[in-house]
Structure 1
Amino acid sequence: MRILITGANRGLGLALAQIGAERGHHILAGVRDVLQGEERLAHFDFSKSITLVPLDVTNEDSIANAAHTVKENFGTIDAIINNAGVLYEREKTIEELDITKVQQTFDVNLFGPMRVVKHFLPLLVMGDSTSIINISSEAGSIENAYGGDYAYAASKTALNMFSEQLKKYVKRNNIEVYAVHPGWIKTDMGGDRAPGNPIDTAKGILDIIEGKHTINSKYAFINHQGESMPI
């Protein structure tokens, strides 16, 4: 499979690129900083299966150019993993929120995946067994709202809704769409206290893409093991 991964130069994105390449997939690693991407991805044993793609999810021209480049060089793709994300204004009260940071959060966490799908969907519909994975979070569950992380939580709730709408839209093209909670994992965002390992999560997400899980969830919102998440 050819798999596009945004934010592929660190954290979960880096783990996804590593595991995907190890499993024989061709990884199109979307990165804002190509030099940094080369430093972090080139040492993998399977680095020849990884192609760096300059891609800034907040810049539509960047995404359009990336889609054009991928189409010219590869023709089609089989999966999109919208992994790039930010967590600003953590633990701020509503009175303390910097609304500019809230807007930036939505720009990356919601509008980023929307832009990517907008420009890469034509390359995806040409495939036979394709999927879109939007990396979400349990923080986006309305049922389990906890009164904090306003920008991040609201952006992930909106991402879940986008995933649900998209799922209905692409159903006729036999494209699977999931909003995946990756668990609390040790990354720059998750911190050192997180109990989970991004490699384990990456394996679960790749299992979903490869069809190794039987997913019975009514909604697109699931965890990395393919189990339903509370809406």
Structure 2
Amino acid sequence: MRILITGANRGLGLALSQVGAERGHHILAGVRDAEQGRGKLSELEFSKSISIVSLDVTKEDSVLQAANFVKEHFGSIDAIINNAGILLERDKTIEDLNLEEVQLSFDVNLFGPMRVVKHFLPLLLMGDSSSIINISSEAGSFENAYGGDYAYASSKTALNMFSEQLSNYVKEKNIQVYAVHPGWIQTDMGGVNAPGNPIETAKGIFDLIEKRKIVESKYCFINHDGSPMPI
């Protein structure tokens, strides 16, 4: 399968690129800076199965150009993993929030996936059985609200709603859509004390794409192991 991954050169995105290439997929690695992003990706064992795609999810022109590039060189895709994300204003109280940072959080975490789906969906529709995976977080759960991380949590809640709306929009087109909680994993965002391994999370996400798991959930917000997440 041809799989587009945003934010593919670090953290979970790098792990997803590694696992996907190891499993024999062709990874279209979306990165903001093609030259800078090539470094770690080129060091992977199956790097020949990875193609760099210049893609800044905050700029619609960049996403459109990336979609045109992929269409011209590869024709179609089978899955999108909207992985690019940011965590800003951590531990800030509502009184101290910088609302420009909140806006940027929504621009990356919500509008980024919306831009990507808007321009890449036509390429996804060419396949027989496709997937859209939006990397969410338990922070976006109403049930798990903890009175902090306002920008991140609110943007992920909105991403969950977008995923649910999108799932209903494409369900007759044989496209599965999931908003996936990756777990607390050891990345720049998660920190070194996180108990989870990004490679294990990546394996779970590819099991979903490859339909190795039967997901029994009323909503599309799920854990990386396929179990339902609390709304």
TM-score where L is the length of structure 2: 0.99
Q: CA deviation at 1:44?
A: 1.2
How large is the Cα RMSD of the aligned pairs? 0.4
Q: Which 5+ residue runs of structure 1 have no aligned equivalent?
A: none
Q: Which 5+ residue runs of structure 2 have no aligned equivalent?
A: none
Q: How many Å separate the matches in 2 of 1:10 and 1:159?
A: 21
Q: How many residues are matched?
A: 231
Paired amino acid for 1:216: E
Q: How many Å separate the matches in 2 of 1:144 and 1:205?
A: 22
Q: Note the 1:5-20 alignment, pairs <5 A.
A: 5-20=5-20
The equivalent of 2:192 in structure 1 is: 192
Paired amino acid for 1:166: L
Task: Indicate yes or no: 2:57 matched with 1:62.
Answer: no
Paired amino acid for 1:162: F
The equivalent of 1:136 in structure 2 is: 136
The equivalent of 1:169 in structure 2 is: 169
Cα deviation 1:139-173 (Å, max 9, x = unaligned): 00011111000000000000000000000000110
Cα deviation 1:9-37 (Å, max 9, x = unaligned): 10000000000000000000000011122
Cα deviation 1:108-164 (Å, max 9, x = unaligned): 000000000000000001101100000000000011111000000000000000000
Q: How many Å separate the matches in 2 of 1:33 and 1:71?
A: 20
Paired amino acid for 1:88: L
Q: How many Å separate the matches in 1 of 2:29 and 2:132?
A: 15
Q: How many Å separate the matches in 1 of 2:188 and 2:44?
A: 20
The equivalent of 1:34 in structure 2 is: 34
Q: Note the 1:27-176 alignment, pairs <5 A.
A: 27-176=27-176
Q: How many Å separate the matches in 2 of 1:21 and 1:176?
A: 21
The equivalent of 1:229 in structure 2 is: 229
TM-score where L is the length of structure 1: 0.99
Task: Indicate yes or no: 2:22 matched with 1:25.
Answer: no
Q: Note the 1:209-228 alignment, pairs <5 A.
A: 209-228=209-228
